[in-house]
Amino acid sequence: MNPLNNEILESFAEINRAIFKLVKADADQVGLTVVQLKALHLIHLSPNIGLGDLAEKLKSTNSTVSGVIDRLVQHNLVERIVPPENRRAVSLHLTDKGREILKYFETRSLFMKKKDELLNMPEKDIEQLLHLHKKILSILNWEETK
């Protein structure tokens, strides 16, 4: 067995762990879970997003995301709005408190600082990295091989 096999896979696992640690530290700073922080960020990026679309972006189920939103509503960070033209639909909006949390996150986030450091890498290195990631994804994506 080629020793590089484990080294390649372990490098992805280490990067994933490092990213999670950074985001978890940021979420802990504002008293949220990682998923709650991601949900706030996605709602900020897509005002009026529905629960189903948010679940898709979070790569989770509607019922799981519904529980996440319930807790964010309880903490007065998100509000559910029922549009008068479609009483069956619910759109999600950040409250002022939710926007404050995100603003705090964006100014003090360790993850954002590290992301900026990554973006300061030479453009050629970033392009090469993204090219390699696409190649790796095309090899690993089992859905495309069905």
**Do 104 and 137 sit in the same domain of this protein?**
no
Q: Residue 118's pLDDT is what?
A: 92
| CATH code of 13's domain | 1.10.10.10
Cα 76 to Cα 96: distance, rounded to the nearest angstrom:
9
CB 43 within 8 A of CB 54: yes
One pLDDT digit (tens) per residue for the chain, 146 residues: 566 568 888 898 999 999 999 999 999 998 999 999 999 999 999 988 999 999 999 999 999 999 999 999 999 999 999 877 777 778 999 999 999 999 988 888 999 899 999 999 999 999 999 999 899 888 888 765 55
- φ and ψ at residue 87, rounded to 5 degrees: -70, -10
Same domain, 64 and 46: yes
What's the domain count of the chain?
2
- pLDDT for the residue numbered 24: 95
Q: CB-side exposure of 50: number of CA atoms within 13 Å?
A: 10
DSSP annotation of 118? H
Provide the residue range defining the domain that includes 136.
Answer: 111-146
Do 58 and 18 belong together in one domain?
A: yes
Residues 67 and 135 in one domain: no
